[in-house]
Amino acid sequence: MMSSKMTDALNQQINEEYYSSYIYLAMAAYLEDQDLEGMAHWMRMQAQEEYLHGMKIFDYMIERGARVELKAVANPPKEWDSPLASFEAALEHERFMTDNINKLADLAIEERDHATNNVLQWYVTEQVEEEANVDGIVKKLQMMGGGGQALFMMDRELASRPAPSIVSEAGGA
C-alpha cells in the first residue's frame, strides 16, 4: 500500500505534468503567432508527451489502489521575448521538473516504496533525455543567432518531430 505522503506527492506531480503540458501549449501558441509553425509543432508534441507523463502516474496510482486527486492547473505565461527565450524557458522548466522527479525518487526511497521508486526511475532517465533535447535546441539557436534564414532552417528541422506514442511514453500504460 502506498503511504499518504507518497500519494500526495504523486498527485502533486500529476498536476506538475499537466502544467508542463499547458506551458508547452502556451509556447506553441506564442510560436504560431510568430509564424514559426515548425517550432510550434515541436512544442505541441512536447505538450502531448507531458500529458502522457501525467497519465502514466495517474494509471500507476490507480493500479496501486491510491486515490488520484486532480487539482486546478495554473495559468502558464503567454509571451516570451523571442523564440530563443521560449526554448530557454523550456529548458529551465525541464530542470525544475528534473528536481521534482529527483525529490519524488528520494521520497520513495525514504518511504521504502520500491515499486514507486522503480516507476520513478523511468522518469529520472526521461528527464536526462528531456533536458538534453531542449538544451541542444537552445545551443543551436544561440549559435545561429536571431537571423531570419537560420531561424527558418531551425523551424523546418523542428517541424519533423513525430508525435509521442502511448507505448513509448507511458511504458505501455
Angle between helices 4-33 and 83-110 in degrees, nearest 10? 170
Residue 18 resides in a domain: yes
Average pLDDT, the chain: 94
pLDDT at 171 over 60: no
Say what the pLDDT of residue 155 is: 94
* Range of weakest confidence among 70-74, 75-79, 96-100, 140-144: 140-144
* Range of weakest confidence among 40-49, 65-74, 129-138, 145-154: 145-154
Residue 54 resides in a domain: yes
Residue 138 resides in a domain: yes
* Range of weakest confidence among 11-20, 119-128, 157-166: 157-166
pLDDT at 172 over 60: no
Say what the pLDDT of residue 173 is: 40
Say what the pLDDT of residue 147 is: 72
> How many independent structural domains does the chain possess?
1
Residue 165 resides in a domain: no
Say what the pLDDT of residue 170 is: 44
Domain range holding 21?
A: 4-160
Average pLDDT of the residues in 4-10: 98
Residue 173 resides in a domain: no
For residue 125, what is its C-alpha cell? 532517465
pLDDT at 31 over 70: yes
Question: In this structure, what CATH number is given to the domain that contains residue 137?
Answer: 1.20.1260.10
Residue 171 resides in a domain: no
CA distances to 93, 143, 144 from 127, rounded to whole Å, are: 11, 24, 26
Residue 79 resides in a domain: yes
Residue 98 resides in a domain: yes
